[in-house]
Amino acid sequence: MGARANSPRWEIAYKFPAARGITKLNGITVQVGRTGVLTPVAELEPINIGGVLVSRATLHNADEIARLGVQVGDKVTVQRAGDVIPQIVNVAEKGENSEPYVFPDVCPVCGGAVVRESGMVAYRCVNSLSCPAQIRGELEHFVSRHAFDIEGLGARQIELFVNLGWIKAPADIFTLIEKHGEELMNMDGFGAKSVSNLTDSINRARNIDLHRLIYAIGIPDVGEVTAKILAREFGAIENLRNAGSWKLEKIDGIGEVMADEIVSFFHDEHSMQALDNLLKHINIKNPVKVSVENNILKDKRVVLTGTLSKYTRDAAKEILENLGARVSGSVSSKTDIVIAGVEAGSKLTDAQKLGITIWSEEDFDNAIGER
């Protein structure tokens, strides 16, 4: 495994060779994710594939089980490639006493009804409000690195706090220490030091970038990239909340299905109650307001020169372009505005000679609504 930096180019194609092995399918269990989707998991007789002991593989969904024709007791071909979850490729040998698998019609975690939405492959537990698997999954997503990034609050702690009834929704995280700090201090595996660390990381998370918030609240299908697009496009959570699907669909990277998901999320009473409760505990750092309409920078030719204290050249350029301005590298009689930072050079002199409007960084701040 060594000498990666020196490995010849042609080896790259073989970096993750798929390895296969044949083993017995001992059983099928079902996991419930944060959106309530039931995912069948193959419980395998442990087998060494390419140096890794594999005892579970994904079966994706009920259709996949039917397609493979796989039954508990069969011998199956398992494939493992790189870091991807191992999967079952085919049935290698029918078992003598293999039994057909019946997909559960109730949630294995909460006993709630299971439905298959029309046109969807997945079965879902309908108990989104009270299914512990969904609540845990939602909270784990909420505290994850690209969301609120709360160190010291991992899957284990979340399970514990959910079971104790201390955390039922994201907002409860921000009152956890206030309400249960003392009990926590005396709990096994905690103590003063870890409670103090947890307090710090929860407090840090109170200041949250808008795109992280959008990602964290778990709108179906909205990942990090989409969250960033939405944050930039809407500039504030309230604007996104009130957006109609027609407006969402016009945005590059948002399709019709996703627009509908977003709108129905923001029309869901439970989700909005949870969001309102959460908003009481956090300060959202909104991206620089982007209002293309009526902005004085719209269609203006702008030149940046010198160093700005709050923005890198790229960031300033992005803001200007988002506001509809055209940023160019050199000053001419067609230039409308020159934004001059510290140590502005010949471009500033040129602008002065041509009588072009010159802005300081403060003028720029005012124009984009930053203070």
Contact between residue 320 and residue 302 where contact means Cβ atoms under 8 Å apart: yes
The nearer residue to Zn ion, 131 or 275, going by C-beta atoms, is 131
CA-based nearest residue to 258, from 218, 228, 216, 222: 222
260 neighbors 243 (Cβ within 8 angstroms):
no
Using CA atoms, how far apart are residues 114 and 129, in angstroms rounded to an integer? 14
Binding range to Zn ion, per CB under 5 A, among 44-52, 131-139, 197-205, 328-336? 131-139
Cβ-based nearer residue to Zn ion, 109 or 254: 109
CB of 278 to Zn ion, least distance (A): 23
Please, which residue, 37 or 54, has the CB nearer to Zn ion? 37
- Binding to Zn ion by CB under 5 A, coded x per residue (else -) over 268-307, reads ----------------------------------------
Q: Which is nearer to Zn ion, 133 or 303 (CB)?
A: 133
Closest CA to 342 of 311, 301, 297, 300: 311
Of residues 107 and 303, the one with the C-beta less far from Zn ion: 107
Q: In what order do the strands lie in the sheet with 357-359?
A: 326-328, 301-305, 337-340, 357-359
Give the x-and-dash track for 110-129 against Zn ion (CB under 5 A). x-x------------x-x--
CB of 216 to Zn ion, least distance (A): 22
Nearest-approach distance from CB 341 to Zn ion, in angstroms: 56
Phi first, then psi, for residue 359 (nearest 5°) are -110, 145
Among 68, 131, 158, 214, binds Zn ion (CB under 5 A): 131
- CA–CA–CA angle 110, 112, 116 (5° rounding): 125
Task: Tell me if 109 sits within 8 A of 116, measured CB to CB.
Answer: no
CB 85 to Zn ion: min, Å: 22
Size, binding site for Zn ion by CB under 5 A: 7
Q: Whole-number minimum distance, CB 121 to Zn ion, in Å?
A: 18
Establish if 109 lies at the interface with Zn ion (CB under 5 A): yes
Question: Are 201 and 145 spatial neighbours (Cβ–Cβ below 8 Å)?
Answer: no
133-162 mask for Zn ion (x: CB under 5 A)?
Answer: ------------------------------
Report residue 218 as tokens.
Answer: 């778990």
* Rounded CA separation 122/118 (Å): 10
Q: 175 vs 271, which CB is nearer to Zn ion? A: 271
Residue showing tokens 């706090």: 161
Indicate whether 37 belongs to the interface with Zn ion (CB under 5 A).
Answer: no
Q: Which residues partner with 327 through β-bridges?
A: 302
Q: Considering the rule CB under 5 A, would residue 107 count as an interface residue with Zn ion?
A: yes
Least CB distance to Zn ion at residue 272 (A):
22
Residue 17 vs 111, nearer CB to Zn ion? 111
> Contact region for Zn ion (CB under 5 A) — 107-115, 258-266, 331-339, 352-360?
107-115
Q: Minimum CB separation from Zn ion for residue 313, in Å?
A: 51
Looking at 33-108, which runs of residues are DSSP E strands?
38-49, 52-58, 75-80, 87-93
Judged by beta carbon, residue 39 or residue 55, the one nearer Zn ion is 39
Which residues are within 8 A (CB) of 338 and not within 5 positions of it... i.e. 6 or more apart? 302, 303, 304, 305, 331, 347, 348, 351, 356, 357, 358, 359
Query: 34 or 212, CB closer to Zn ion?
Result: 34
* Shortest distance in whole angstroms from residue 106 CB to Zn ion: 8
End-to-end Cα separation, the chain, in angstroms: 53
Residues of this chain that bind Zn ion (CB under 5 A): 107, 109-110, 112, 125, 127, 131
